[in-house]
Amino acid sequence: MQLSKRIEDDIAMIVESLGFKLYDIEYSTSKIIVYIDKSGGVSIDDCELVSRNISAMLDVEDPVQHAYTLEVSSPGINRKLRKPEHFQGAMGMNCRVKTFEEVNDKKFIKGKIKECKENSVVIEDNSGSYEIDYGNIKSARLDEELF
């Protein structure tokens, strides 16, 4: 399920107007999770401020016709990588990637993000490089404890 593009844009506008970067939005039937980021990290007070402002907008717009929980959070140190811009922002960092289809005989790749291309990301480990199409990524996240 997804929120409408207009609601996502409204959330992004609120987050950015408060001085934060919108990292991601996850939506399920029972929960809307908004991940925010800023230089130096995000505090609980930051999450509360953003939550109050988004909640006020959602109360007016009423985009979800059933009960749900709004959660505002930092993406965390081992953050999910779901969009090409997430990989671009994590260049040189360690990650774990699960793929739908094998890449060089592997479906689970852990290594350093070496390059981000238009349609793929290159992950390098001790045995070589793996170019993974974004559409082949089942899940990915940073992993600072990898090496």
Amino acid at 31: K
pTM comes to 0.85
Which pLDDT score, from 0 to 100, does residue 2 have? 67
pLDDT the model gives residue 41 = 92
Per-residue model confidence (pLDDT) at position 147:
45
Does residue 93 share a domain with residue 69?
A: no
Same domain, 62 and 122: no
Q: Is residue 66 part of a domain?
A: yes
10/68 same-domain check: yes
Q: What pLDDT does 1 receive?
A: 52
Q: What pLDDT score was predicted for residue 128? A: 93
Q: How far is CA 145 from CA 16, 71, 141, in A?
A: 31, 27, 12
In a domain, 133, yes or no: yes
- pLDDT reported for residue 74: 96
Q: Which domain holds residue 41?
A: 5-73
Q: Do 22 and 61 fall into the same domain?
A: yes
In terms of domains, do 68 and 88 share one? no
Number of structural domains (the chain) is 2
Q: Which residue shows structure tokens 């790749």?
A: 109
Q: Of 39, 73, 107, which residue is a domain's last?
A: 73
Tell whether 79 is covered by a domain: no
E-strand stretches of the chain: 21-27, 31-37, 69-73, 94-103, 106-116, 120-125, 128-133, 137-142
147 residues of the chain, pLDDT tens digit each: 567 888 899 999 999 999 999 999 999 888 999 999 999 999 999 999 999 999 999 999 877 778 889 999 999 999 999 999 999 999 999 999 999 999 999 999 999 999 999 999 999 999 999 999 999 999 999 997 754
Whether 10 and 64 share a structural domain: yes
